Amino acid sequence: MTAALASAIGEICDGVGRDPTRLLDVARAVQERFRCVSTAATDHIAKELGVPRGDVDGLVSFYAFLSREPKGRVVIRLSDDIIDRLHGFDRVRDAFGRALGIEPGQTTPDGAITLETTSCIGMCDQAPAALVNEVVVTDLSTDRAREIVGDLRDHMEPARLVRTFGDGNNAHDLVRAMVNNNIRAEGPFVLSELQRGEAVSKAIGVSPAEVIRAVKTARLRGRGGAGFPTGMKWEYARNAEPPDGSRRKFVICNADEGEPGTFKDRVILTERADRVLAGMTIAGYAIGAEEGILYLRDEYAYLQRYLEHLIDERRGDGLLGPRILGTDFGFDVRIQMGAGAYICGEETALINSCEGKRGDPRNRPPFPAQSGYLGCPTIVNNPETLCCVTKIIETGPATFCAHGSPASSGTKLLSVSGDCHAPGVYELPFGLTLRALLDRAGAADAAAVQVGGPSGTMVAPDHFDRRIEFDDLATGGAIMVFGPDRDILEIVRGFMDFFVHESCGYCTPCRVGNVILRDRIARIIDDRGEPSDLDELETLSQTIRATSRCGLGQTSPNPVLSTLESFRSAYEQRVEADPDGFRRSFDLASSVCLTVSPDARPSSGGREPSP
Amino acid sequence: MNAPITITIDGVEVPATPGQTILEAADAAGIYIPRLCYRPGLEPYGGCRVCMVHVAGRACAACTQPVSPNMVVENDTGELQEQRKMIIEMLFVEGNHFCMFCEKSGNCELQALAYRFGITAPRFDLFFPKRDVDASHPEILIDHNRCILCAGCVRASRDLDGKSIFHFTGRGPDRRIAVNAEAQLAATDADVTDRALDVCPVGALLRKREGYRTPVGQRPYDQAPIGSNDQPEEA
Ligand SMILES: Cc1cc2nc3c(=O)[nH]c(=O)nc-3n(C[C@H](O)[C@H](O)[C@H](O)COP(=O)(O)O)c2cc1C
Ligand code: SF4
Ligand code: SF4
Ligand code: FES
């Protein structure tokens, strides 16, 4: 066995040229083959790649889809986010548990099937959903859960769980997924039909400076959430010098799409990946890069073969490779698979992940445009941003600016989910009101809308006339709709669970502060909150926001802050002063209990809310 | 390129050199900015966030932010001191810090900062995590209960000792220090002369049998608060 392990790992390492920066690929391959990266495997990998053992261990312990202990041959990962919870996640989880005779986090005694929960898998428009190995199953019910377990027991082949394919390329031979696109509004840019080669040939017909100028004239801002002006980013990278002795620069497409409630990149990659690849190529031409990386979250592994096929096709058509359309400009793309970590969507964490490291964000400066992947100038862009670029090149900046609002040109893809009749992807011009969107989505009785995912803003009905644009309700695209019966504090707790789970833990305020926040919310939900809690929540939130090291911690208190502002009565109804002047949070009974269980508090600082 | 520049910290003009961080320039000028994960001579880490300052209204970590000409830095403001205090409290509740039994007492930067910031009892509930002690090595002790994850040992072992004995494992609240062996420190090539053993700001990584060489009461922070001018540089 150990000999087999050693030789398999040797082969896997050979497959990546024994390049230590491909450690993540190696670990993923070992995980797939041996269902874990065991202690022995960790030693072998370290030896083969010539890196400290700690590099391998640190990496394996970071990513949710890698494990030290063996997993079952089939791993069922139930998507656990607030939208799945609205649609019956609890019942589905219990149905799986009962059918398998295990709890989430466990593997059946025969080692066949593991049941787990995982953060949002990007299927909120068809929730509850799950991954069975890399096969996506959607619209789950308790009946379907039992059927799936029965079928797996029968044949242990996740692919056979898919009986009908979804629309569009979901039915492509290399995808074969039951996922549906749910495209509800096909706008003029991102989701529009394209003619392969048009954008790239137009771009390389002009100078790189002119390409950048067009992107600037179109006033294109990043679609991934932060809204940074794309042309400016490209100009920095164009002017940046690669480190000594190198001419390398890089274009990275950030398809990590991990913000719960966002799934529009999934649809782009399914239907318009050609645009994304064209956009990457144009970016490469503009900044002087010859290499691109498409970082694909592991949850979208079902798209990997199809995307590789497209890359091959484009090579065949002279649109990727050493001499694009016969010119001296060469550009090629590789796919980097993630391994389950929301933080890897943060661009410097993403770069670390591409280098085969833990996904801890980096200190800035230097910024990626100066020193990014392998220390070379690097731009990171969202797939939607890259699609916009292709359209700007195809039709000219003026056409692009003719849509949207003055400060926010063009269209935005919105992922709408939750309590509405028409969940799905809408490509609509910037500047539309939230109300207009809710009308289209059939959400007339919405009582609260989370714009921008957990890190965004919870909007109350009296603010539904606010506009979706960078200067008002900025969003990477997630629109989660909550009806009148939903409990605001439960939603906040769900979001805080997510941040605690996805924090990288590098800096104090995010690692510790979010646990405290989450536990305070839980205390209020448990009717042990006091009026003074509200002010304390506020100061704690402000501190986390002001002092955290990266965007995750800087936005993680937003659910608390924005609901304290817009839904204050939800808190006020739940907190009260104790009539006898005791602290309600103090539980006398449990404090005088002398038999302290050694596991009184999980060592995790509490993945579970504190008792 | 390296011509001296001037920056302003809390209204005081101080000289600085390009390439310096705000914290280094402040130290050179005798201005104290509270800090924990900053370790002189090691690559800045930016993890504890105790050294947060404001530059033109924007928050940044003084230990990682490079100086630039005419930069205006706010350091000693009520808002920043409150935030720092809260961060120190977070570190206290996250681990198990029983100062009265700790051999590092009086020589511990976390404890000293708590005194400086007037923290008597933390306002947050203690986590009481279950953490391990690794006493396997004959001469070195790791007590994870007291570790504040400052990465001092990680950086020093990698960059000064060339050994990479320490690394981080896990993420989020589960992040811990681990050693470069399957199990414990005894199985690594850690040595009592390693410089990594000199950098721990708290009592988490210690040489054995040295804890009480200096009697309690005569230790650096027993004599003068951390950050005061008569504080010896090397504790
Ligand atoms: C915690 C965190 C997660 C992020 N996740 C994503 C993501 O999944 N996709 C994305 O495009 N940007 C994400 N971002 C933003 C990226 O850091 C970066 O700003 C973006 O990819 C830049 O592309 P754009 O300018 O085209 O929007 C994330 C940021 C943070 C702080
Ligand atoms: S804010 Fe959170 S995710 Fe970002 S570096 Fe700090 S601990 Fe890591
Ligand atoms: S053991 Fe000490 S030096 Fe190492 S990370 Fe923990 S607190 Fe820092
Ligand atoms: S000293 Fe600057 S972040 Fe720790």
DSSP string for residues in A207-258? -HHHHHHHHHHTT-B-SSSS--BHHHHHHHHHHPPPSTT----EEEEEE---
Cα–Cα distance for residue pair A401/A530, rounded to 1 Å:
51
Interchain CB distance below 8 Å, A43 and B182: yes
| pLDDT over threshold 70, residue A598 | no
> Is the pLDDT score of A131 beyond 60?
yes
Atom of ligand 2 nearest to the CA of A508: 7
Any atom of ligand 4 within 6 Å of the Cβ of B84? no
Tens of pLDDT, residues B71-124: 999 999 999 999 999 999 999 999 999 998 899 999 999 999 999 999 988 899
Residue B233 has pLDDT above 80, yes or no: no
Distance CA B62, CA B21 (A): 7
Q: What is the predicted pLDDT for the residue at B141? A: 97
Confidence of residue A600 (pLDDT cuts 50, 70, 90): very low
The CA distance from A347 to A256, in Å, is 10
Partner-chain contact B172 A57, CB within 8 Å: no
- Going from the Cα of B130 to the center of ligand 2, the distance in angstroms, rounded, reads 23
Shortest alpha-carbon distance between residue A56 and chain B (Å): 10
Segment A169-175 shows an average pLDDT of 98
CA of A579 to the centre of ligand 1 (A): 48
The shortest C-alpha distance from A61 to chain B (Å) reads 5
Contacts of B52 in chain A (CB under 8 A): 546-547
Considering only CA atoms, which of A256, A206, A235 is closest in space to residue A379? A235
- Return the minimum-mean-pLDDT range out of A106-110, A276-280, B119-123: B119-123
The reported pTM is: 0.95
A518 min Cα distance to partner chain B (Å): 12
B147 lines ligand 3 (CB under 6 A): yes
Cα Rg, chain A, nearest whole Å: 24
Residues of B in contact with A521 (CB under 8 A): none
Find the A507 Cα to ligand 2 centroid distance in Å: 5
Residue A606 pLDDT: 39
Residue A362 Cα to ligand 4 midpoint, Å, equals 14
Determine the pLDDT at residue B183.
Answer: 83
- Nearest residue (CA) to ligand 3, atom 8: B150
pLDDT for the residue A591:
67
Ligand 4 geometric centre to CA of B74 (Å): 16
ipTM: 0.96
pLDDT band at B2 (very low <50, low <70, confident <90, very high): confident
Residue A286: phi and psi, rounded to 5, are -70, -40
Tell me if B173 and A515 make a contact (CB, 8 A cut-off): yes
Taking CB atoms and an 8 Å cut-off, how many pairs form between chains A and B? 140
In this structure, which ligand is nearest to the CA of A475?
Answer: 1
Q: What is the pLDDT of residues A561-574, one digit of tens each?
A: 999 999 999 999 99
Average pLDDT of span A155-181: 98
Report residue A604's pLDDT band, with 50, 70 and 90 as the boundaries: very low
B153 lines ligand 3 (CB under 6 A): yes
**pLDDT of the residue at A209:** 98
Contact between A61 and B66 using a beta-carbon 8 Å cutoff: no
Q: What pLDDT is stored for residue A398 in this prediction?
A: 97
What are chain B's domains? 5-76 (3.10.20.740), 84-221 (3.30.70.20)
Cβ contact B129–A603 (<8 Å) = yes
* Residue-level pLDDT at A576: 85
Q: Over range A319-332, report the average pLDDT.
A: 97
Percent of chain A with pLDDT over 70: 96
In percent, the amount of chain B with pLDDT more than 70 equals 97
In Å, what is the CA distance from B93 to each residue of A499, B67, B79?
19, 34, 21
CA distance A507 to B187: 29
Question: Which amino acid, A468?
Answer: I
> How sure is the predictor about A588, in pLDDT bands with cuts at 50, 70 and 90?
low
Q: Does residue A263 contact residue A384 with C-beta atoms inside 8 Å?
A: no
- Ligand 1, atom nearest to A297 Cα: 8
pLDDT at A197: 96
Report chain A residues whose CB lies below 8 A from the CB of B171: 61-62, 341, 343, 358, 503-505
Report chain A's mean pLDDT, rounded to a whole number: 95
Q: Which residues does A369 contact at the CB level (< 8 Å), separation at least 6?
A: A233, A236, A237, A240, A377, A378, A379
Distance from C-alpha of A321 to C-alpha of A330, rounded to nearest angstrom: 6
A494 pLDDT more than 80: yes
Q: What is the pLDDT of residues A31-88, one digit of tens each?
A: 999 999 999 999 999 999 999 999 999 999 999 999 999 999 999 999 999 999 999 9
Work out the minimum CA distance from B156 to partner chain A, whole angstroms. 15
Q: In this complex, do B169 and A503 lie within 8 Å of one another by their Cβ atoms?
A: no
Q: List, for residues A399-412, the tens digit of each pLDDT value.
A: 999 999 988 999 99
Contacts (Cβ under 8 Å, ≥6 apart) of A246: A376
